[in-house]
Chain A
């Protein structure tokens, strides 16, 4: 039980990592859709530059989450796979098309060609669709209405994952991804000495953040009847309630920081915001994995397996985290590390559609 809880906490951290890293990649794709006007190619270049080196690594958090879930909670994983077959399949198609379209457009020889344009459209559309269905799936789990009365999972045809509550949360996930990406892109544009571009994304981050907050409030208002168990878990216990309130305060702080153009700090705070948001979901739902029946205790795998996994995670992380730090220090952080050469200050030329390392 304690081992399973520990493993769940690690999985939850992986979920947060996927949300703040992979979520921002989705968001960048969403902004790609809005890249219009004379500076469109320039905006796209910034997006390519920002997510190119890291998107594959960011994406692996999802894989980690899946294999972790099915190793620690095999029966819960099986139930979710059956119940959420449709939204997860759609999200999967989105993930696949998005990754492929991104790489195809990056390596298209002529960035202005028609096929590059088509790939860009696919990339941005799927970036919009995927977080929606992932968010709706999460809402379906939280609503506590997935499991059939006899306990065996059946495929939900939309009554749960396409309910008003799930739609609200799905849209909120989209808005949150857009906010994340916009906040990162302000800082990214700033690092290339592009204050105008940073301003564009600052405005967008504020708008998307406001939409996220409104949708979040709508979701919260629906919770008492759409996700009663979650609601009760939240309002009757101190810790979840405190975390929810902190989440709201952090959201406001992000807006203030953006408004005052403290982009670097805003980037840190928006990450905290996502962590607290997902944390409040987890705490409110505790000890249920899939309310109202599947708990941590009744779906946890054999302790020997969980222990083996935890040990491997410890060893794996000892290699992984320094590597990840190295990756981000080379491309995203201003600090010197061994092997790093002087930074290139300007965005690559607008006409280069050949991708990196030509």
Chain B
């Protein structure tokens, strides 16, 4: 494997791994905050049990998020020193601010996770606010740096040197509002549907208690509020790309030739060699309408750009369609669930097929995050900083990167395996007695978590 490919593979693996935990790190604290708030307000033991359960899962997930995030901050320098030299000079500020946000998050997380007995109930609940606020801020800062890589701003190049640096202009570059909002919403979509999927699974296995129902509804509320907003935000992104990064939109949609009245190609294989999209479903004038609001509008195709500047078209197009497909599936599930609620058809909300749909929407929402991230990364190639630095020129001169890639891949496999095993065991473990703030005696839940045989095995 060439050093460049190994570096890209390692960076890609690291990001694909980390993005799951960062999304949960933004989404879960909000669920914790709402659940604990409801528990305190209604003195409801089930809400408190959920808070405790989620807090334990969050502790593990956040720790993995923290260490995998550390890998990334090192890798920026270790794998891409030329990029870091350039980016640090111009867009270091959001990285530093993200550091602060992460710091606040870690501090209050420590208080939250270890402070059940040391903090008053109210102070404990209040500690969840800085966690979700700083989680959201982290997402904004980091993605603003990614936006800058797509639409670099806030500096000029004079005699080969970067000068006239304007840190705020760099942070608030043209792509920032579009990319950051899209990422922030995606965290709530994915966390909402993923948590809902966990409880849909339990309910499918016959555990239809008040505890499961509360968890399912709260998670579905978060997911279903976020998903329509996310689709609006996605549409805004596409319109933005049509003018700011037309080559990226062209790669996403598989448009090879500049033309007017361009159809929307759904699915299929975009082949850059023949300049055609095979096996796609075409909606006439679709893309022109979506991107420019006019069926006869001209859409720039990849032929407007030199071949060596084309993004990785095949992967960008497939990832994009996969993301959109998963997103619309989640939208459908969210709408159906709450439509049934509105019509007061709880039996339909709890219907087997509804639950199966929710069970699918969870992993699909995370798939959408991964694919969406791939769209933005593959669609930016061959540049790491569009127009200024090619990925191939940013890679380190350090030798034998394939060894480094292999070792890190092994670490990720180990972490993923250990994490899944631990979370599954946690989900099956019986509820220990908890202290309820409004009662002096410990509360022992009588909710079956595992199956009868699993419980027998544990006890």
A-to-B contact residues, CB < 8 Å? 52-54, 56-57, 59-60, 62-64, 66-68, 70-72, 74-75, 77-82, 85-86, 88-89, 92-93, 95-97, 99-100, 102-104, 107-109, 119, 153-155, 301-302, 304-305, 308-309, 312-313, 316, 319-320, 323-324, 326-327, 330-331, 338-341, 343-344, 354-358
Contact = CB atoms under 8 A, between A and B. Distances in A.
Nearest to B155: A302
A26 to B, nearest CB: 14
A154 B93 contact: no
A100 B95 CA distance: 23
Nearest to B432: A358
Main secondary structure of the interface of B (DSSP, over half): helix
B418 A104 contact: yes
Contact of A354 (B76, B110, B404, B432): B432
B102 interface: yes
A68 B88 CA distance: 9
* 7 tightest Cβ-Cβ pairs between the two chains A and B: A339-B123, A71-B92, A74-B88, A81-B77, A103-B63, A70-B88, A316-B100
A302 B89 CA distance: 7
A59 B70 contact: yes
17 contacts: A62-B70, A63-B103, A71-B96, A78-B77, A82-B398, A93-B411, A100-B63, A119-B418, A155-B396, A302-B163, A305-B167, A309-B167, A312-B97, A323-B108, A339-B124, A340-B118, A341-B117
Given A305-B165, A327-B107, A340-B119, A81 B56 contact: no
A60 B67 CA distance: 10
Given A89-B78, A99-B66, A344 B56 contact: no
A313 B103 CA distance: 12
Contacts of A79: 81
A343 B99 contact: no
B397 interface: yes
Given A103-B59, A357-B116, A326 B74 contact: no
Contacts of A96: 67-68, 70-71, 411, 415
A99 B106 CA distance: 13
B159 to A, nearest CB: 15
B63 A68 contact: no
A79 to B, nearest CB: 8
Nearest to B61: A103
A106 to B, nearest CB: 8
A323 B107 contact: yes
B295 interface: no
Given A89-B78, A344-B117, A357 B55 contact: yes
A60 B113 contact: no
Given A103-B60, A301-B88, A305-B167, A56 B109 contact: yes
B229 interface: no
A306 to B, nearest CB: 9
A304 B70 CA distance: 27
Given A53-B114, A67-B73, A89-B78, A107 B93 contact: no
